[in-house]
Amino acid sequence: MKRLPIVIVILLVYFHSAGTLFAQQSRSYIPKRSDAILYQINIRAFSEKGNLKGILPRLDSIKNLGVNVIYLMPTYPIGKVNSVNSPYCIRDYKQVNEEFGNLEDLKALIDSIHAKKMAVLMDWVANHTSFDHSWIKNKSWYLQDSTGNIVSPPGTGWVDVAQLNYKNMEMRAEMISSMKYWVLNANIDGFCCDYADGPPFDFWKQAISALRSIPDHQLLFLAEGKRSDQYKAGFDYNFGFAFFENLKAIYSKNKSVKSIDSLNISDHKGASNGQQIVRYTTNHDVNGSDGTPEDLFGGEKGAMAAFVVAAYMNSIPMIYNGQEVGTPFKLVFPFTSSKIDWSLNPGITAEYKKIIALRNSCEALRSDEVKTYSTDDICAFTKAKGHDTIFVLSNLRNKQIEFTIPKKLSSSKWINAFTGVPYKMTETVVLAPYSYIVVKMQ
């Protein structure tokens, strides 16, 4: 057996190591599970252009907000049969909607996002397609009624889309291949999977396993679903539907704030290794149907008190575009009638930046261990990790509330976590309506 000269061996080792290091560095914008701050972009409403190029001028603003993961709503061609112009009615899984641009525009956007050390998730609609998708010729790939007609997803009222048949293995394989296409051809960093409770558990397990096996790609997966088995399937994150509905009930129906404590348990059932729930005070669905955070949570102050809980207590926070400027109107489906005015409410933007910056700088706030002291009106909790102990109080009522501080906390020394100014903790604290206090133990 011939031996390679020692110089060649050294060079081979060097280039292999350098290549590995480069691959690691080039993906350094992928955050740890616990460190993600998500930002959802509704392409149609985001800019005057309403396309992919229209996102580019605001990437610095998104980055400066403290965001490290951008989640793009669907970028694919929209079906024309039975159409309601929904971005979630996919006509081709491997093309870019001409309304938004082309593949080169998408790749340029993703490259620009990566250059700013942020990751990109694409919205993926796996449960159904449009009725004029190219797959429709394969009838066995779709659910059919007793007469052989392809049907819409049962019980949903989504008449513009056709329900896929997950008993068909060929369809599954092609679905996974289509997802791989975007990882390999556009260098995306994962998917937010729309209506993830539709496709079965074993498909998601199969798909995520296949996608995670792609070399040199670290991926993140968010299930827009309620099923606890999404964690077991391999998703990094599940969607906080229950938290949002519960938060609305706290504000509108005087539901006890203590109810969040039980959600912290149920939302993380089956989670391990840092898997988390994603929580929000608005998104593309509820903004259009229910209202803005200010509509739902008592105006600017109430909305911010709610966001503090979503950002700090026990979750990954998500911001919907326009939320950070207090957009005063709904972005209504199909999102073509309104554009976000980015000049609005710089004070609200500054407050979001302040809240997110503290989370990004504080290991304790990013941990999934929380000790609660909540009452029926005040969300109160401590989080500790490393050298940090943080105490958060958020008044979710539109009235002044007196809160009794637990003795072991009142006897400690604290500073204002945002300013570093000493904070004198007394046995009771009076919180103004919709106010919050965040202090750090010295």
pLDDT tens, position by position, 273-321: 999 999 999 999 999 999 999 999 999 999 999 999 999 999 999 999 9
Q: Give the β-pairing of 436-441 and 414-416.
A: antiparallel
Assigned token pair, 252:
């509108």
pLDDT value at residue 21: 33
Q: Which of these, 103, 93, 151, lies nearest to 125 by C-alpha position?
A: 93
Greatest Cα pair distance, the chain, in angstroms, is 84
302 close to 343: Cβ distance less than 8 angstroms? no
Residue 344 pLDDT more than 80? yes
pTM of the model: 0.93
Q: Which residues of 407-442 are buried (b: 16+ CB within 10 A; e: fewer)?
A: eebeeeebeebeeeeebebeeebebebbbbbbbbbe
Residue range 345-360: average pLDDT? Answer: 98
SS3 assignment, position 281: coil
pLDDT tens-place string over residues 319-332? 999 999 999 999 99
Q: Which of these, 197, 221, 195, 224, lies nearest to 208 by C-alpha position?
A: 221
Q: What are the distances in angstroms from CA 68 to CA 35, 37, 78, 180?
A: 8, 6, 28, 22
Say which residues have a Cβ less than 8 Å from residue 381's Cβ, sequence separation at least 6: 312, 313, 370, 371, 372, 373, 374, 391, 392
Domains of the chain: 30-368 (3.20.20.80), 378-441 (2.60.40.1180)
Q: Which residues pair with 150 in a beta bridge?
A: 144
Residue range 206-233: average pLDDT? Answer: 97
- What DSSP string describes 29-88? TS--GGG--EEEE-HHHHSSS-SSGGGGGGHHHHHHTT--EEEEPP-SPBP-TT----TT
Q: How confident is the model at residue 27 (pLDDT cuts 50, 70, 90)?
A: low
Assigned token pair, 17:
């190591």
Say which residues have a Cβ less than 8 Å from residue 70's Cβ, sequence separation at least 6: 38, 39, 41, 62, 113, 118, 119, 120, 121
382 close to 295: Cβ distance less than 8 angstroms? no
pLDDT value at residue 22: 32
Sign of CA dihedral 277, 282, 288, 291: positive
Residue 14 pLDDT more than 50? no
Q: Is 434 left (phi over 0), alpha (psi -120 to 50) or beta?
A: left
Residue 12 pLDDT more than 80? no
Place of tokens 């409403």: 45
324 vs 62: CA distance, rounded Å: 10
pLDDT value at residue 94: 98
Residue 20 pLDDT more than 90? no
Sheet (strand 414-416) strand order: 371-372, 378-385, 388-395, 436-441, 414-416, 422-423
Residue 4 pLDDT more than 70? no
- Looking at the chain, the number of H-run helices and the number of E-run strands are 14, 18
pLDDT value at residue 387: 87
Assigned token pair, 41:
């972009």
pLDDT tens-place string over residues 376-419? 999 999 999 988 999 999 999 999 999 999 999 999 999 999 99
Q: Is 234 left (phi over 0), alpha (psi -120 to 50) or beta?
A: left
